[in-house]
Amino acid sequence: MPFEIIIGVILAVMIFLFANGINALPLAVIGLLAYVLQNYMDKSSIIKNSAKPADAGKAITFEDIGGQETAKNELLEALDFIKNYDEISKMGIRPLKGILLTGAPGTGKTLLAKAASNYIDSAFISVSGSEFIELYAGVGAQRVRQLFKTARELARKNSKKHCVIFIDEIEVIAGVRGKNSNHLEYDQTLNQLLVEMDGLSAKDDDVKILVIGATNRPDILDPAILRPGRFDRIVKVDLPDKDGRLEILKLHTKGKPLAEDVDLEQIAKETFGFSGAHLENLCNEAAILARRAGEKVIRQCHFMEAIDKVIMGEKLKRKPTKAEMKRIAVHECGHALISEFFKPNSVSTITITSRGEALGYMRQKQEEDIYLYTRNHLETEIAIALAGAAAEEVILGESSTGASGDINHAVELAKKIVFSGMSEMGIVDRDSIPLKELHREISKIINAQKEKAKEIIEKYKEDLNLIIDYLMENEKIDGETFRRFLKDLKNFKAA
């Protein structure tokens, strides 16, 4: 019943009782509080709104998910234990009760859960951890009980033998107990989830329930939820590598009108660190840019522009002064020169067009994804990061606040060198190293690389001004054009 009607009825009853000499105010307050509490305790509305069969709408299959072969294989094996229970029970194998998907946002954890549900032909319930937490203690625990009850009812209603319960952001209710000493609701909710998972039985239950949790913060989960018999298997859903990104791009460009010049492999190289969600957004933005330009097909230039938009945001209308434009051009050309000096063919784009918080930027690409870094590699990255400020000092006489983000990045890289035991300090304990010594070592590493960058820029100072002038006139230089300029520099030779 709507809240306004309840209030109206209460007021009418109060007026009637007051007219007959009865003070009904205490009864009205108690009734109102009971109504509010009942609303909080009404678990079924949230849970049932989230409940739906796995085949509601477009059925997601594992073929629809690209770039996650390892995660898919681990998940498929666990699902086969459920799907072929009679066969695997002869081997004494116990079906898994829970699977935890961990990984960065946008890597496809929800899609994997939906595909898992479809694979074993089950009902599917999707909820978020935040849906269980309320002000009153005990509400979350009741909602957990209702969740498992609804799962069984939904499976029976749809004539399914299995039901997948997917809990996104599970760290909200499964964080380490005791951390919220003034809010026992979190602990009670987790305790109830543990009880429900312990009560799952593949042998006795007519509906087999599989709980799939997803989180990007596995480090804060309570150890009790991770032990065998609850979440038996932890599946890492990583950011896709180059081959994975290519596979995802093929999926998301299927059905889109692509021009002949579109090179998806090149786009995959340019998008290191992109998640599946980023790549889907990239393809969508490329299509939007093509339509904005009045094109009937999506061209390579639209994809390249979309990469910049996804990373940095939309172009801004604000225009820096001519002096600021010159400084930005000097800064970005400094980054590009040092990048090409140490890592040939690494520059993808240089622009002085403002996007998001950036007044300009130089975007790099790499032939292969790298996951382990040597000291030499990290020092090269520091030199590239500081090359913008170095170019400003060499060509303009002083640097600016535009280098603050580069400096923060360089400091983090220097810390990685120190804490990995690759500095002259040797192996150190990051928790006990004196701040003064840490600062001294970081400054030493950073200043050495900045001086190295300044020496290189000084050597090509005059010729670099030609590239700066071109950039100011055109606002953007692609990597190939920049490298053609470098070929004309006197004695330019990469390290």
Contacts of 283 (CB under 8 A, 6+ apart): 249, 252, 253, 256, 303, 306
* 130 contact partners, CB below 8 Å, separation of at least 6: 169, 172
- CA separation for the pair 152, 164 (Å, rounded): 10
| Distance of alpha carbon 315 from alpha carbon 317, whole angstroms | 7
What is d(CA 306, CA 288) in angstroms, rounded to the nearest whole number?
9
Which two three-digit tokens encode residue 414? Answer: 């220097």
CB 212 within 8 A of CB 125: no
Pairing status of strand 476-478 against strand 347-351: antiparallel
Catalytically annotated residue among 332, 392, 393, 441: 332
In Å, what is the CA distance from 119 to each residue of 72, 115, 164, 315, 341?
11, 6, 11, 43, 51
* Paired tokens of 144: 């957990």
Partners of residue 362 on adjacent β-strands: 350
Q: CA separation (Å) from 8 to 11, 13, 25, 28, 248?
A: 5, 9, 14, 12, 56
Contacts of 466 (CB under 8 A, 6+ apart): 485
Rounded CA-CA distance 395/465 in Å is: 9
CB atoms within 10 A of CB 296: 8
Tell me if residue 451 is catalytic. Answer: no
Q: Are 432 and 367 in contact (CB under 8 A)?
A: no
Residues 6+ away with beta carbon under 8 Å from 239: 103, 104, 107, 273, 274, 275
Crossing angle for the helix pair 435-459 and 404-419, nearest 10 degrees? 120
Strand residues in 20-143 grouped as ranges (E) = 51-53, 98-102, 123-128
DSSP H or E run through 472: helix 461-474
Angle at 437 between CA 435 and CA 440, to 5 degrees: 105
Report the DSSP beta bridge partners of residue 162: 208
Which residues form the catalytic set?
332
